[in-house]
Amino acid sequence: MGLSPVLWQFLVKWMTNFAIIPPEASRIAPQVDALLVFMTLVSLVGLVLVGLLVTAFSILYRREKHPVAVQIEGSTLLEATWTIIPLGLFLVMFVWGSVLYFRIYTPPPNAMNIYVVGKQWMWKAEHPGGQHEINSLHVPINQPIQITLISQDVFHSFSIPAFRVKREAIPGRYTTVWFEATQVGTYHLFCTQYCGTNHSAMIGEVDVLTPEDYKKWLADSTSGVSLAQNGERLFASLSCNACHNGQPDSRGPSLANVYGSKLTLSTGQPVLVDEAYLRQAILNPSAHITQGYAPIMPTYQGQVSEEGLISLVEYIKNLSTNYRVQQTLNTTALLPEQPDKVPAKGASAQGVAKP
């Protein structure tokens, strides 16, 4: 071999653990790979076809062999053929790819939610039970996991090649991606969107654990306070409960059962209350005045971190009554027993759509 010994060594090393694709460690991975294989085959056929045509014509019609060119105008039939066949193939890839796309970004309803905040330069994951981890993510096997992403500063991108998923973490909005891991192991978690100095150091690990190991991990790393409990504490310390206390005469609408409902804004516009809406309503309340209420809520822009917002949102999501303090543990404050549902009289005024 004319190869240098160093290069040869590399080659041997590579060939011994030869890999063109990363391990298929999620439910979606084999489906993505199937399309990739199909596309590779089509591409190879196309490339070989072009290569063969050019080579064959170059040999057959080289000057020595074929001194006088035959002028040919074109051929509608041929041209139509190589317009329609690629178009057809591309359309197949489009449809197939779109089906995959919708599958990759449409989480099943039973997915377990984990929040991930991207910052320069780390991934901070927040489990609902309050477990935090940095540049690592522990997930149970065979359980759909929905990742809700946000960035605190610049664009980041959450990528797990072994799962074939990737989603941009964007400042100012929640994005989601889901996966279901199918192989126990440790996989790379990359930031793939260029994010400044330590972009290439923003690498984490995804640990896929068996359900038992995952339970053990949760128990070992619990902070004692769940996201919702932390949110509840913030809710009180930011004095949100001064207005959003669920009393009929309170200055703010009740937040019980507000998540997932349809509100009518003062502009008459209906809006679906989701995580993104709740976050926006905290940061920029004057743009989201609920019908029937005065625009008096101050902005909390700059006062709550992204993690704090996540806790608040998680608290509000879990809020079936403003008095859930009694249902949670770890709370010392005691409030008088209240009926478990919002008074019927105030319901429409508060803009909470009846089911």
Partner 1 sequence: MSTIVSLPDQATARIPKRNYLTNENGLLSWLLTGDHKRIAVLYLISITFFFFIGGALAGMIRLELLTPQSDLMASDTYNKVFTMHGVIMVFLFLVPSVPATLGNFLIPIMIGAKDLAFPKINLLSWYLYLVGGGMTLTAMITGGVDTGWTFTTPMSTHFSNTNVITTGLAIFVAGFSSIFTGLNFIVTIHRMRAPGMTWFKLPLFCWAHYAASILMVLGTPVLAITLVLVVLERTIGIGVFDPTKGGDPILFQHLFWFYSHPAVYIMILPGMGVISEVISTFSRKRVFGYTAVAFSSVAIAVFGFFVWAHHMFIMGVSNYAVLVFSLLTMLVAVPSAIKIFNWAFTLYKGSITFETPMLYAFGFMGLFTIGGLTGVFLGSSGTDIHLTETYFIVAHFHFVMVGGMLMAFLSGVHFWWPKMTGRMYPEKISQLAAVVTFIGFNFTFFPQFLLGMLGMPRRYAAYPHEFQVLNVFSTAGASILGVGYLLPMIYLIWSLKYGEVAGNNPWQATGLEWQIQSPPLTENFTTIPIVTQDVYDYEWLERQKEHEVTHVG
55 to 74, contacts with partner 1 by CB under 8 A? 57-58, 61-63, 66-74
Of residues 256-285, which lie at the interface with partner 1 (CB under 8 A)? 283-284
Burial class (CB in 10 A: 0-12, 13-18, 19+), 98: exposed
Of residues 137-166, which lie at the interface with partner 1 (CB under 8 A)? 153-155, 157, 159, 161-162, 164-166
Alpha carbon distance 65, 161 (integer Å): 52
* Choice between 7 and 272, CB closer to partner 1: 7
* Total Cβ atoms within 10 A of residue 22: 15
* Choice between 125 and 150, CB closer to partner 1: 150
Amino acid 144 reads P
Q: Closest Cα to residue 28, out of 103, 97, 95, 81?
A: 103
* Token pair of 307 as six digits: 């993690």
Alpha carbon distance 320, 8 (integer Å): 65
What mask, x for binding partner 1 by CB under 8 A, covers residues 279 to 318? Answer: ----xx--x-------------xx----------------
Please report how close the Cβ of residue 48 comes to partner 1 at its closest, in angstroms: 10
* Choice between 63 and 354, CB closer to partner 1: 63
Alpha carbon distance 139, 181 (integer Å): 8
* Choice between 171 and 295, CB closer to partner 1: 171
Alpha carbon distance 205, 185 (integer Å): 10
Region near partner 1 per CB under 8 A, out of 45-53, 122-130, 135-143, 344-352: 45-53
Of residues 11-40, which lie at the interface with partner 1 (CB under 8 A)? 11, 13-14, 17, 19-22, 32, 35-36, 39
Please report how close the Cβ of residue 19 comes to partner 1 at its closest, in angstroms: 6
Of residues 91-110, which lie at the interface with partner 1 (CB under 8 A)? 91, 93-94, 96-105
List CB contacts of 286: < 8 A, sequence separation 6 or more.
295, 297, 299
Mapped onto helix, strand or coil, the DSSP state of residue 206 is strand
* 77 is a site residue for partner 1 (CB under 8 A): no
Please report how close the Cβ of residue 266 comes to partner 1 at its closest, in angstroms: 18
CA-CA-CA-CA torsion sign (217, 222, 227, 228): positive
